[in-house]
Amino acid sequence: MISPDIIVSFLDWVNILTVLSTIGTRIPVVISERADPRHGEVDPLLSLLRRAIYLQSALIHVQTRALADYFCSFIARDKIKVIPNPVQIPQDQTASLSSRTILAIGRLTYQKGFDCLIKAFAALHVSFPDWRLVIAGEGPERRNLESLIRAHNLSDSTKLKGEVKQPSQLYRDAGIFVLSSRFEGFPNVLCEAMSFGLPCISTNCPSGPAEIITHEKDGLLIETDNISALAAALQRLITNEEERKQLGVQARNSIARFQIGRIVDQWQDLFTELKPASN
């Protein structure tokens, strides 16, 4: 029989079942919420059970302060720990900022807002015909996005690249990265793009981007679902290579706070705090 000192559980239904299965064992359970429960499909039963059963866990782990504020509505603040996802900083590998490629990465779903990105790019394409848009990822919105690309006569300049398991080369070959999401949990791709020194434009969606990017210091934040604002931000960076370079350098410097060693230390501190409760 396995007798762990601490259990870390992921995924909402698994979290609930894990807490229930450990009642009476005195094994501390850390619940890790990876998504934003305020968005996406809402299951009333799940919401009810989350509020009732998460109270029995030793600690709730979230990736952003915004999610910590949400859980504080029914869980004591001292039972909530914010630890972001780690990012591996590539050594001697940076983006080609002279590239005329705009990159986006994510599942082809409504959540990711790629329809807004395509429309924003379409508004600029006539003025900047040498730039192209690459979207890496796969998902149920592919056909709709393909139709949108054709409708805006972007077939020669916009590519839906499909799933890419190792996107490092995409980051290196890009000149601008865009996160166009309507909501997130913690956008790893944004951190990855910044680690390659890419100048980034992101929607200020819940949750994550505003805790990763400092607006106009190491990236640009824009209003969610605002096609005009996205087009204006793209035009700003397209026409100013020097700003692209400055934002890229600052992005790479600032994202170092999420490097793996620092995040591992935070998890180790968490385990050290909880372990005595298992004795």
pLDDT of 188 over the 50 cut: yes
Tell me how many degrees the CA angle 117-176-222 measures, rounded to the nearest 5. Answer: 50
Q: Which residue has the tokens 């859980």?
A: 71
What's the mean per-residue pLDDT of the chain?
Answer: 93
Give the C-alpha separation, 144 to 138, whole Å. 12
- Choose the weakest-confidence range: 20-34, 142-156, 211-225, 238-252: 20-34
Model confidence at 42, in pLDDT bands (50, 70, 90)?
low
Q: What is the pLDDT of residue 276?
A: 53
Q: What is the mean pLDDT of residues 179-187?
A: 94
Per-residue pLDDT reduced to its tens digit, 90-112 = 887 778 778 999 999 999 999 99
Q: Are 247 and 198 within 8 A, CB to CB?
A: no
| CATH of the structural domain 7-86+259-278, one choice from 3.30.420.40, 3.40.50.300, 3.40.50.2000, 3.50.50.60 | 3.40.50.2000
Are 7-86+259-278 and 101-256 the same fold in CATH? yes
Tell whether the model's pLDDT for residue 3 goes beyond 90: no
**Amino acid in position 112:** K
- So where are the chain's domains? 7-86+259-278, 101-256
Q: How many C-beta neighbours within 10 Å does residue 131 have?
A: 18
Question: What is the reported pLDDT for 277?
Answer: 46
The single-letter DSSP state of residue 2 is -
Q: What is the pTM assigned to this prediction?
A: 0.91
- Rounded to the nearest 10 degrees, the angle between the axes of helix 241-254 and helix 227-238 is 100
Q: For position 41, what pLDDT does the model report? A: 58
pLDDT average, residue stretch 187-194: 96
Q: Measuring CA to CA, how many Å separate 253 from each of 74, 194, 216, 247, 249?
A: 36, 9, 14, 10, 6
Rounded Cα distance between 223 and 66, Å, is 17
Superfamily of domain 101-256: Glycogen Phosphorylase B; (3.40.50.2000)
Contact 180, 197 (CB under 8 A): no
For residue 176, which amino acid is it? Answer: I
Place 278 in a pLDDT band, splitting at 50, 70 and 90: very low
CA 117 from chain centre, in angstroms, equals 16
